[in-house]
Amino acid sequence: MKAEKGRRVSVHYKGMLDDGTVFDTSEGDEPLVFTMGAGEIIPGFEEALEGMEPGDKKTFTLSPEDAYGERHDEYMIEVPRGEFGSVDLEEGMMIELEDPAGRRVLAVIGAVGEDTVVVDLNHPLAGKTLTFEVEIVEVSEPGETPEPAG
């Protein structure tokens, strides 16, 4: 059965930056399971898996626009230091915020001043070219739960 829109796909993957640094992997863990076409993963990743079958392996590279998008300066916001309470903030620290709709958003602390903190709301992988090594474990019809092979 091929990976196509509406089907549940189970995939092992390794994601790497241009310098070979692994930023995420399913190695030693359960495979990633998602529904094709449901917007659960980045668009380029899903497109690259289209038509693959269990056992198929592939390596592909995604430009920022097919992954987490470009970086945007307007996503760097200055927030009053008091909004963080007594939390000991450090530059480069990842924090979780809540947007007005109540969704969780990851952010990175930029400059930490006495009265203000610069918060980077760009996705940490925005602006980066990403390479993935993938192996399709299983493909199933909607409503079925793919089980890991082995």
**What's the pTM?**
0.79
Give the domain 8-68+126-140 fold. Answer: Chitinase A; domain 3 (3.10.50)
Backbone angles phi, psi at 136, to 5 degrees: -75, 125
**Residue range 83-97, pLDDT digits in tens:** 888 889 999 999 988
Domain ranges for the chain: 8-68+126-140, 73-120
CA–CA separation, 96 and 128 (whole Å) = 21
CA–CA separation, 38 and 128 (whole Å) = 24
Residue 147 has pLDDT above 80, yes or no: no
**Residue range 62-77, pLDDT digits in tens:** 999 999 999 999 999 9
Average pLDDT of span 26-32? 96
Query: b/e for 66-98, b at 16 or more Cβ within 10 A?
Result: bbbeeeeeeebeeeeeeeeeeeeeeeeeeeeee
Give the domain 73-120 fold. Answer: Thrombin, subunit H (2.40.10)
